[in-house]
Structure 1
Amino acid sequence: MSIDALAKNKKSWDEVAPRFFGRNPLPEYGPLAPREDELNLLGDVADAKVLDIGCGSGHSLQYMDKRGAAELWGVDLSKTQIETAKGLLADSNAPVHLFESPMEQNPGLPEEYFDIVYSIYALGWTTDLDKTLANVAKYLKKGGLFIFSWEHPLHSRASFENGALHFNKSYHEEGPYDHEAWHAPAIMQQYKVSTYLNTLISHGFCIERVIEEVSLTEQDRERHANRWYSCEKAMMLPTTLIVKSRKM
């Protein structure tokens, strides 16, 4: 686990958090990706104890509250995000427990306790994928669900120019890289699809579903015009990887 990367990412997210208030939360899994309404990966969450890894502004936990979850737990590296989530969830029906912490560390979460752990467009920020998924396995009850979404590993490897894809980096290359999408310096991680799946398997998860489809409705096209996740590029390459797994 890189302490330097965690410190840099924490500072970066504390600065940019307002830009991502309510950005692509459940029932969305990511930009130009199918929604939970269509996929039904979570099933009935009524009375479930749920944990959000990288909970951000708290909107996905708010969605879980509206669907009847029994307990709402969240972890996020950013103090700004946690304070925002506390405000958003102040009037929730279910009790709320939020922790300002890296996902690579257990800040005091109970083990073998949760029915559902999920992470919506946050897992790629981990500095140690193996440690993070080991933690998820410890948090979950036997038979519990872990669902995550993240930018598809192919998406950032290619650019779309003049109607064609141009690969800028080898898909096989993994590890940290400088994130340049905003001015505050940050470190992200690049992994292959197989690395995500095999790491889950190594920690006792059974992979139930892998989704790479895109959603290109008129609403999606309007929302993502002239943005990083363009519809034109999505017609040739998936934007989002969604994985549903279960602790055996």
Structure 2
Amino acid sequence: MYDEMDYPAPGRVERRAVAGPESARAGRLWWDGAADAYQAEHGDFLRDVGFIWSPEGVDEADARLLGDVSGKRILEVGCGAGQCGRWLRAEGVREVVGFDLALRQLQHSRRIDEQSGHRLPAVQADAQRMPFATGSFDVVFSAFGAFPFVPAAETALAEAGRVLRPGGRFVFSVTHPIRWCFPDDPSKRGMTVKQSYFDRRAYVEEDDAGRAVYVEHHHTVGDWLRGIVAAGLLLQDLVEPEWPEGNKQVWGGWGPVRGRMIPGTAIFSAVKPG
């Protein structure tokens, strides 16, 4: 949702159903306009060459949620400026590919490639229609990229399952579904339930013509689990990170006050049967 700094100004807020094409258009427009402010605000926390799973600061260097990635071919879904994939390249993984819906995010990725010396091959694409062959990757992952912004969880999860090889691993992090009940306020004021957990209508910001300019979708824990199963994957773990004592930052609705009381992030880990 809308935050401070130089993000695009919020439009008229609605709660309504949004289909795939409208959602993708809104996501592309908003993230093209928000990429500069997002990277300026969160770039230091994410690091140019770093793999952070969530605002809680879960670091792949410590968590190793992807397992042994040596010799693997890896896809990052919704790569943004490519920080995670670039970290994998720096760790010696030879084949890492990323994609993102927003061209401006990919331009930041190219900028950081040149500055860091670690290049991440990346293309512009939609998670609802991944432009890769079936069974192309040993590992597919997404760190808050794309999945919170797709209207049908099962569609994007099926695509991730399709491009994954038998025996491959799929890990993705999203806003914890319980957060949908609460306002986007990380302080004590944000501890009051405002809407039903079961209300799956999207949060939509519209322009004066009624067109969506920002869309964020809600899927319950059950929706994600059913989507994983429908994609032919086996769930191995669901990580709900606790807020660490040393993390003082506030990131939208995430922060130390509320983060110590309710989970802000869900990280799903699954495998494709071999």
Which TM-score tier does this pair reach, normalised by the shorter chain? 0.7 to 0.9
Counterpart residue number, 1:119: 142
For residue 2 of structure 1, what is the amino acid of its counterpart? G
For 2:6, the equivalent position in structure 1 comes to none
Change (3 A) 1:215 1:234: closer
What is the DSSP-based 3-state SS (H/G/I as helix, E as strand, rest coil) of the residue aligned with 1:64?
helix
Say which SS state the counterpart of residue 144 (structure 1) adopts. strand
Q: Check if 1:52 corresponds to 2:47.
A: no
Flag structure 1 segments of 5+ consecutive residues without an equivalent.
none
- Looking at structure 2, the residues matched to 128 and 102 of structure 1 have their Cα atoms a distance apart, in angstroms, of 13
Taking the aligned partners of 1:42 and 1:76, their CA distance within structure 2 comes to 20
Partner AA of 2:222 in structure 1? S
Identity between Structure 1 and Structure 2 (%) = 21
Match of 2:109 in 1: 85
CA distance in 2, matches of 1:227, 1:192: 20
1:205 partnered with 2:230: no
Q: Could you tell me the TM-score, scaled by structure 2's length? A: 0.80
Give secondary structure in 2 for the equivalent of 1:245: strand
Match of 1:185 among 206, 213, 220: 213
Q: Which has the higher strand share?
A: 1
Aligned to 1:169: 195
RMSD between aligned alpha carbons?
A: 2.3
Per the TM alignment, residue 53 of structure 1 is displaced from its structure 2 partner at its CA by: 0.5
Distance in 2 (alpha carbons) for counterparts of 1:125 and 1:24:
20
Q: Which amino acid aligns with 1:5?
A: S
For these two proteins, the number of residue pairs brought into alignment is 239
SS at match of 2:196: coil
TM-score normalized with structure 1 length: 0.87
Distance 2:57 2:38 in 1: 17
Per the alignment, residue 215 of structure 1 pairs with 243
Q: Which runs of 5+ in 2 are unaligned?
A: 1-18, 207-211
Matched position secondary structure for 1:146:
strand
Deviation of 1:89 after TM superposition, in Å, equals: 2.9
Flag the 1:162–1:187 CA change in 2: closer, same or farther, 3 A: closer
The change in CA–CA distance for 1:48 and 1:179 in structure 2 (over 3 A counts) is farther
Q: Which residue of 1 aligns with 2:11?
A: none
Tell me how far 1:195 sits from its aligned partner.
0.7
